[in-house]
Structure 1
């Protein structure tokens, strides 16, 4: 089965009202939808673009106030997923539940369903500056185009999460991210490659680019990519497609789910199935040496 993925390098630029945000989102969805993808991926917290016309003198309060736009965001994304008949990973959006602020990714289906995946691991900025709460539940979404999971940015740097969803059957990991500098971007990018190799899975990632006149969002370094396992049936260098860093762009690639199935059994190595579960139950032995 061939699956087409579109990953959007979303350019953060100053806007003056909700209409500015909505118009830009409709524009990028038009550009992506023309290629008839099965999945469209937007970046982590790209909705922080809304902060450019909000009062941000008290940043934690401003981020919480973004929840006032959650209903509009959900309805816009739901409409676009239905119109373009795509599974839309709508980046992530600061979401209040029971007084707690979560960094939540939303999955919108062509049939109008809405599903959520909270970020499990918070960065220091999210803990200390935004006062966010941590999610505690992973989800695997069984779609007609393969089983998928969403790991938001920092979560891809924890191999156990990817292994859990891949042992449950994931074919594609979607990684919406937001990084301010090249080092941060590369931490996410390199880990995406590692997870693709370790789990014999496709990984699609994308990032915010551009800048906003908001504390902590002044600069961004980003590049979208669609990453494959590193073996003969897949792309040279394990990259099906990648964008040009730090420009507004949409990256598109076709991936073959059947190649994953074959590679997990007949690959040069088969790390998804070769894991020694018996050894992982043993404690590490510390041996003193003088």
Structure 2
């Protein structure tokens, strides 16, 4: 490039540009085959002219971006380069596709450093928005990997590039342009020795994408969960407790949480309002507040436009004591789930009884289930809910020691895997010195996912700091559960051997 300031022009590629474009591709892609045949470029221009973009300097093409339309559900999964361009150089463009796929972005070596690649990426994003497409996908080479392949796994390499400890000429650029690495694809382009055949599947989401269905018929896909890791502390009154609860509901609703989860027996501090009681008297005294708390939470759910799972509270019915979790919908409806399995402590010290029904609830943000603490340690309950198409399982819990907590956590993670659902657990922390049997707490609230390529590598979306009062958020994508059920590495629900053990759908 001469020292003169370039005169740049961004436009769509035209058929007469082929010779100049091919020369530039031969220069940039000399190590992976060079230019595509004229027929391939002509097909791109004919089938998707808006997606073929170039930058010229004083009439000379110095950079270009080539793009097709694809089916998002298919190409957001692992694939190879030949799924995009066949060995006969036929482009697999889908005119009805709901996403764009970036084939190549390339800039003349003499013009690098002018951020022309960024201009081409921004132009692509504008096309994606203008055509109301869901996302831009791309299979990204990692040509810097060959240099360190003996020392680092490909995952370690990508992580170091993300942390900017290593610079990769392609991946570093794509990450700086708001693309996220969704997965690693092996043998994407086997002849790409510099990348050792690997590629990253990158995705840029169009936040302005609108599903073309009537609003009232659309299903919410991205759901925000809010979990309160509640500090047990002495309370002076019911108002004191509800003020603290509303503080958390307000905070979570300000972040547009679709659900707010409180822990099991979060209202236990109210037992300290009356002294001199034995354990049975204290828990029955606590049950006297349940109806009032339920109604106040229902009002909060409507006022703050969020669905609340009010942990669990004791309720006295016909002389029998139960542990109940209430679901307060933001439209004012109220549902309830009784704890099914009563712990030895609850039976011995509080004389509690277990419930008889398992339910799955329809909400405006998916089908959910609730299992209170000990119940999550029984896999049959989660499976019954899964057979009723549960998508999110909420587990309010109370545990006093770390080993008790780990029973809940590990079983909750198992429920997420075997039932192909998200699981949110919420517990309490702190101490209640004056309250018998609920005096110490241990918790680390969290949200778990199934363990597959669509989800975090450790199947943990978020988790709180142990034994610290705080709130945590998690955005869960219900569409990913559909992909998992159909095309997961394993498909637990589809592979059940009901010929051996039969279905478990026995809700009453």
Give 2:297's aligned residue.
Answer: 77
**In the alignment, does 2:366 pair up with 1:185?**
no
> Which one has more relative contact order, counting CA pairs under 8 Å at least 6 apart?
1
Pairwise CA distance, 1:235: 1.3
Task: Give a deviation string over 1:204-233, Cα, whole Å, max 9, x none.
Answer: 001011111211111100111010000011
**In the alignment, does 2:459 pair up with 1:229?**
no
Give 1:195's aligned residue.
Answer: 415
Give 2:353's aligned residue.
Answer: 133
Equivalences for 1:55-204 in 2 at 5 Å? 55=275, 57-204=277-424
Distance 1:208 1:52 in 2: 17
Distance 1:181 1:192 in 2: 17
Give 1:4's aligned residue.
Answer: 224
Equivalences for 1:262-277 in 2 at 5 Å? 262-277=483-498
Long gaps (5+) in structure 1? 282-290
**In the alignment, does 2:265 pair up with 1:30?**
no
**Number of matched residues?**
281
Q: Which secondary structure state, in structure 2, belongs to the residue aligned with residue 148 of structure 1?
A: strand
Task: Give a deviation string over 1:12-33, Cα, whole Å, max 9, x none.
Answer: 1011111211111111112212
2:501 maps to which of 277, 280, 287: 280
* Structure showing greater Rg: 2
Q: 1:55 to 1:174 in 2, by over 3 A?
A: same
Q: Which secondary structure state, in structure 2, belongs to the residue aligned with residue 46 of structure 1?
A: coil
Pairwise CA distance, 1:56: 5.1
Give 1:254's aligned residue.
Answer: 475
**8 Å contact kept, 2:430–2:467:** yes
Long gaps (5+) in structure 2? 1-220, 503-508
TM-score, normalised to structure 1, is 0.95
Aligned alpha-carbon RMSD (Å):
1.0
Pairwise CA distance, 1:143: 1.3
**8 Å contact kept, 2:271–2:285:** no
